[in-house]
Amino acid sequence: MFDPNALLRTHLQKLVPYSSARDDYKGNEGVFLDANENPLGSITEEDWNRYPDPYQKELKARIAQIKGVRSENIFLGNGSDEPIDLLFRAFCEPGKDNVIINPPTYGMYKVSADINNVEAREVLLTADYDLDMEVIKSAVDENTKIIFICSPNNPTGNDVSLDKIEEVLRFFKGIVLVDEAYVDFTSRHSFALRLEEFPNLLVLQTFSKAWGLAALRLGMAFASEEILAILNKIKAPYNLSGLVQKTVLKALENLEKKDRMVDQILKNRESLGEALKQIPMIKTICPTDSNFFLVKLENASDVYKKLIEQKIILRDRSKVALCEGGIRITVGTEKENELLIKALKNLN
Ligand SMILES: *Cc1c(COP(=O)(O)O)cnc(C)c1O
- C-alpha 103/C-alpha 198 separation (Å) is 24
CA 178 to chain centre: 9
How confident is the prediction along the chain (348 residues), in pLDDT tens digits per residue? 899 999 999 999 999 999 877 788 888 899 999 999 999 999 999 999 999 999 999 999 999 999 999 999 999 999 999 999 999 999 999 999 999 999 999 999 999 999 999 999 999 999 999 999 999 999 999 999 999 999 999 999 999 999 999 999 999 999 999 999 999 999 999 999 999 999 999 999 999 999 999 999 999 999 999 999 999 999 999 999 999 999 999 999 999 999 999 999 999 999 999 999 999 999 999 999 999 999 999 999 999 999 999 999 999 999 999 999 999 999 999 999 999 999 999 996
Nearest CA to ligand 1 atom 1: 181
Q: Label residues 127-138 b or e (16+ Cβ within 10 Å = b).
A: eebbbbbebbee
Q: Are strands 144-150 and 98-101 parallel, antiparallel or unpaired?
A: parallel
DSSP H stretches of helix in the chain:
10-13, 57-67, 81-91, 108-115, 133-139, 162-171, 225-234, 242-251, 255-277, 300-309, 334-347
Measured in angstroms, how far is the CA atom of residue 107 from the centroid of ligand 1? 10
Measured in angstroms, how far is the CA atom of residue 344 from the centroid of ligand 1? 28
* Alpha carbon separation from 200 to 227, 258, 267 (Å, rounded): 8, 30, 36
Closest residue by Cα to residue 286 from 103, 129, 123: 129
> Closest ligand 1 atom, CA of 153?
13
Q: What secondary structure does DSSP assign to 232-273, as a single string? A: HHHS-TT-S-HHHHHHHHHHTT-HHHHHHHHHHHHHHHHHHH
Which amino acid belongs to residue 279?
I
Pocket test for ligand 1, best of 80, 185, 248, 292 (most atoms within 8 A of CB): 80
Nearest CA to ligand 1 atom 14: 181
Measured in angstroms, how far is the CA atom of residue 204 from the centroid of ligand 1? 9
For 290, what's the count of Cα atoms within 13 Å in the CB-facing half-sphere? 23
Q: For the chain, what is the largest distance between any 2 Cα atoms, rounded to a whole number of angstroms?
A: 71
Q: Are strands 144-150 and 175-179 parallel, antiparallel or unpaired?
A: parallel
Query: What pLDDT, on the 0 to 100 scale, is given for residue 1?
Result: 85
Give CB contacts under 8 A, 24+ apart, made by 14-21. 15/233, 15/234, 17/233, 17/234, 18/237, 20/51, 20/54, 20/237, 20/238, 21/51
Nearest CA to ligand 1 atom 5: 80
> Closest ligand 1 atom, CA of 208?
9
Measured in angstroms, how far is the CA atom of residue 209 from the centroid of ligand 1? 8
Measured in angstroms, how far is the CA atom of residue 80 from the centroid of ligand 1? 6
Name the 3-class secondary structure at 16: coil
CA 319 to chain centre: 23
Query: What pLDDT, on the 0 to 100 scale, is given for residue 28?
Result: 84
Pocket test for ligand 1, best of 105, 154, 330 (most atoms within 8 A of CB): 154
Measured in angstroms, how far is the CA atom of residue 219 from the centroid of ligand 1? 8
Measured in angstroms, how far is the CA atom of residue 282 from the centroid of ligand 1? 27
For 228, what's the count of Cα atoms within 13 Å in the CB-facing half-sphere? 21
Closest residue by Cα to residue 137 from 166, 161, 171, 113: 171
Name the 3-class secondary structure at 176: strand
Enter the DSSP assignment of 150: E
* 300-309 helix and 334-347 helix, angle to the nearest 10 degrees: 120
C-beta neighbour count of 52 within 10 angstroms: 17
Nearest CA to ligand 1 atom 11: 181
User: Dihedral angle at the C-alpha atoms of 137, 140, 146, 148, nearest 10 degrees?
Assistant: -40
Measured in angstroms, how far is the CA atom of residue 188 from the centroid of ligand 1? 19
Residues with CB under 6 A from ligand 1: 79-81, 106, 150, 154, 179, 181, 206, 208-209, 214, 219
> Closest ligand 1 atom, CA of 106?
13
